[in-house]
Structure 1
Amino acid sequence: MARRIGSRYTAHQILGRGSAGTVWLGEGPEGPVAIKLLREDLSSDQELVGRFVQERTALLGLEHPHVVSVRDLVVDGNDLALVMDLVRGTDLRTRLDRERRLAPEAAVAIVADVAEGLAAAHAAGVVHRDVKPENVLLDMQGPLGPGGSHRALLTDFGVAKLIDTPRRTRATKIIGTPDYLAPEIVEGLPPRASVDIYALATVLYELLAGFTPFGGGHPGAVLRRHVTETVVPLPGIPDELWQLLVQCLAKAPASRLRASELATRLRELLPLLAGMPPLDVDEPDTEAAEEAAEELSGAAPVTGQPVRRRGAVPLVPGAKPSDSNRDTHTSMRVPAPDELAGGAHGTARAPRAAGAPRPGSARNRAVTRRRRLVVAVAALILAVAGVGTWLATSDDTTPPPADTQTSAPTAP
């Protein structure tokens, strides 16, 4: 059913839903457009509407071949919408769901496209703050790039900043998707361009491996891993690419590359990656995610159930796996310093024997208690058995009591 958006646009059908709003296929004076209609509770927030209008110039001025351009911002009654270029294709999350992981050449080409788009945005003073596969669109109608990749465009610029109003989040909340949040965001520092580099490096890791470096389990556990754990190496990729990933996933923002530098370095690596098949990487087991959820929630893990480890942690009530642009933006409590300091340190998800619990986890402590109980019971059984053996032996060798003893009569 068609609906009017402002005086110039008509929305015809829903393309996807996310936590920030709904994306429609629409029509405007210049032809087809994509219309992101924000939620009603956001459109009724006067402070957000004011910020929306203030951001208009910056967002409308952002033009780049690897950025989905914002054509217009509509404020009309209860409607608050971004009118964007319509990209004929799909999002990177959909492709990743279908293929599980990409060949390194295609993955690097896609991320290089996004890095170039980020470089233009950062030069204009715009930080995206929510870089993830759902927000990367693939133009299926354009020519193919290296490794058979489609041209990638970054979308949803400005949405995270619009939602992140001081009154809405205060100093104890953070906005974003847990798997892609830079450590400084988790620690409550203001977002700068380097947070986009960290998120994009996380996307590249996910495209290569099929899972994010710190994802899985309870959102709080994911946030803690970003701060305390180091990334697990990916076997089978050139060392130059791995070192680039490590640098852009550095905990210290100043250690990361700038977007323009990252794009240039990735382009230089493309000839080295030509013809390489997707990596043969074992996905992390589900136990770590179960244990993390158990540690933070206090609930016992449900064994035998698959734990979603890849991509965005589902945080939106009622979100469905088929929704495009899903799990976009959530408000979470900033963990306290003692919470961030807790848990395992060192290499994230370090290899361990199959079925073995993670050291220091609640499951590990439960196993230890059970072992101690078994040892104590065994010791008690052995002690009882020893007493029984001693009593039985005593019956055969101990002389009768004095009042029952008899002796042979002595000769006169």
Structure 2
Amino acid sequence: MARNIGSRYTAHQILGRGSAGTVWLGEGPEGPVAIKLLREDLAADQELVGRFVQERTALLGLDHPHVVGVRDLVVDGNDLALVMDLIRGTDARTRLDRERRLAPEAAVAIVADVADGLAAAHAAGVVHRDVKPENILLDMQGPLGPGGAHPALLTDFGVAKLIDTPRRTKATRIIGTPDYLAPEIVEGLPPRAAVDIYALATVLYELLAGFTPFGGGHPGAVLRRHVTETVVPLPGIPDELWQLIVQCLAKAPASRLRASELSARLRELLPLIAGMPPLDVDEPDAEGAEDEEAYEDPYPTVPTTPRRGAVPLVPGAPHDSANRDTHTSMRVPGPDELAGGPLGTARAPRPAGAPRPGSARHRADQVRKRRLILTTAAVALAAAVGVGGWLALDSDSGKQSPPQDTKNSAPVVP
């Protein structure tokens, strides 16, 4: 069912739905376009619309081969829409879902492209704030690069800033996708360019390993891991690449590379990893809930649904009406919670190979420990009963000791 978007564009077919709105295949004066029609509640907020219009110049000025260009911003009645270049291909999330993990050469080539796009955005004073595989499009009509990777483009600039405005959120709330949030955002600091570098390094880790370094379980626990835990090493990649990932996942924003530096360093490493197969690493139980004894739920408004499909901005992509939320609203944890307050006791960094709380291995270990405790207690109780019976028998006279008064004695609890 076609619908007009303003006076210049027509939306023909829904390509996908996300938490911010619906993506349509559309037509404009210059040919096919992708139209992101934002939610009605966003379009109805006049102050929010005004703030977004102020960003129009910056968004339209982002002209780079690795950024999905914004052609127009339409404000028409109840419609608020971003008109963008149509990329014919898929996104990094869909490719990950299909292949589980990528060969290092392809993963590094994709992330280097995105870093180039971020460098241009940061130079223009624009911070993306929601870098993740769903927002990385792979142009299937572009030339193949290292490792057979298609050119990668970053999309959805401005959407996170659109949703995260003073009227919609308070200083005590976080807007973002938990797995990719930099520690400074979790601690309530304003997002700078370094948050995009942290998120992009998380994406690189995920492309290589098939899972994010701090993800899994309840969003509140994910937030705290970003602040308190160190990243678990990935076996099988050159140390130069690993050290680069570690630097960009540094807790201190100033320790991370800039986008242009990250791109250059990654491209320098491409010959070193040429031809390497995908890594063979154990995938944690990302769907497992956190240990209930260690983590209470201080974030009752946060959904704990598992990861879901992507929202492609491309024609022919499968429609998925139950996509993973692009932006999740979370309360900023207090210092005591980040240090191990209501969320549970503070944890030391998890050693490599140790089971993640809530994973199948972790739950099995807990069951084995409980069985061992119960077995030890049963043996101790049996020994105590045997010793008690031996003491109750007078071995010299062969007579039993006088019976004890058990009326007021405490019951024995095994």
TM-score bin, normalised by smaller chain: 0.7 to 0.9
Give the equivalent residue in structure 1 for 2:337: 339
Give the Cα–Cα distance (whole angstroms) in 1 for the partners of residues 114 and 53 of structure 2: 26
Compute the displacement of 1:18 (Å): 0.6
**Aligned with 2:37: secondary structure?**
strand
1:381 counterpart residue number: 382
- Kindly provide the amino acid, as one letter, of the partner of residue 259 in structure 1: A
Shift in Å, 1:330: 1.7
The aligned amino acid for 1:4 is: N
**1:50 counterpart = 2:50:** yes
Corresponding residue for residue 301 of structure 2: none
1:169 matched to 2:201: no
Indicate conservation of the 8 Å contact 1:113/1:263, yes or no: yes
Secondary structure of the equivalent of 1:42? helix
Of residues 348-357 and 252-261 in structure 1, the stretch that sits farther from structure 2 once superposed is: 348-357
Give the whole-Å Cα distance in 2 for the aligned partners of 1:272 and 1:87: 30
Aligned pairs (5 A) from 1:269-348:
269-285=269-285, 289-292=288-291, 295-297=294-296, 322=320, 326-342=324-340, 343-348=345-350
> Which structure 2 residues correspond to residues 28-39 of structure 1 after superposition, within 5 A?
28-39=28-39
Decide whether the 8 Å contact of 1:215 with 1:311 is kept in 2. Answer: no
Q: What's the RMSD between the two structures over aligned residues?
A: 3.2
Q: Which residue of the partner structure matches residue 254 of structure 1?
A: 254
Letter in 2 for 1:397: G
Displacement, 1:232?
0.5
Q: Helix, strand or coil: the match of 1:169? A: coil
Count of aligned residue pairs for this structure pair:
385
Letter in 2 for 1:74: V
SS in 2 for 1:167: coil
- Matched residue SS, 1:166: coil
TM-score by length of 1: 0.85
- Cα deviation 1:112-131 (Å, max 9, x = unaligned): 00000000000000000000
Q: What amino acid does structure 1 have at the position aligned with 2:284?
A: P
Distance in structure 2 (CA, Å) of the matches to 1:284 and 1:105: 23
Aligned position for 2:398: 397
Residue type at the aligned position of 1:54:
Q
Larger fraction in helix: 1
CA distance in 2, matches of 1:166, 1:129: 16
Please give the alpha-carbon distance, in whole angstroms, between the structure 2 residues aligned to 1:30 and 1:400: 105
Superposition pairs for residues 155-304 of structure 1, below 5 Å? 155-285=155-285, 289-292=288-291, 295-297=294-296
> 2: CA distance between counterparts of 1:22 and 1:353?
39
Deviation, 1:351, is 2.3
1:149 aligned partner: 149
How far has the Cα of 1:197 moved from its partner? 0.2
The structural deviation recorded for 1:392 is 5.3
2:5 is matched with 5
Unaligned runs of 5+ in 1: 300-306, 313-319, 402-412
Letter of the structure 2 residue corresponding to residue 278 of structure 1: P
The whole-number CA distance in structure 2 between the counterparts of 1:66 and 1:18 is 22
- Looking at CA atoms only, which structure, 1 or 2, has the larger radius of gyration? 1
Question: What SS class does the counterpart of residue 33 from structure 1 fall into?
Answer: strand
SS of alignment partner, residue 230 of structure 1? coil
- Using the alignment, how far apart are the partners of 1:356 and 1:51 within structure 2? 42
Structure 2 counterpart of 1:409: none
- Identical positions, percent: 79
Residues 216 and 310, structure 1, Cα contact 8 Å, conserved in 2: no
CA distance in 1, matches of 2:37, 2:28: 15
The letter of the residue matching 2:398 is T
Distance 1:137 1:348, change over 3 A: farther
- In the alignment, structure 2 segments of 5+ residues that lack a partner are 299-304, 311-317, 403-414
Offset at residue 322 of structure 1 (A): 3.7
Report the Cα offset of residue 389 of structure 1.
3.4
- 3-state DSSP class of the match of 2:109? helix
Shift of 1:167: 1.6
Q: TM-score, normalised by structure 2?
A: 0.85
Q: 2:354 aligns with which of 352, 355, 364?
A: 352
User: Using the alignment, how far apart are the partners of 1:214 and 1:103 within structure 2?
Assistant: 21
Name 2:26's counterpart in structure 1.
26
Native 8 Å contact 1:284 1:349 kept in 2:
no
CA 1:353–1:199 in structure 2 vs 1: closer, same or farther (change >3 Å)?
closer
Question: Structure 1 residues 182 and 311, CA, compared in 2 at 3 Å: closer, same or farther?
Answer: farther
Cα deviation, residue 45, structure 1: 1.0
Superposed CA offset, 1:217-275 (max 9, x none): 00000000000000000010001000000000000000000000000000100111110
- For 1:232 and 1:283, locate their aligned partners in 2 and report how far apart those are by CA, in whole Å: 12
1:383 is displaced (CA, Å) by 2.1
Paired AA for residue 335 in structure 1: P
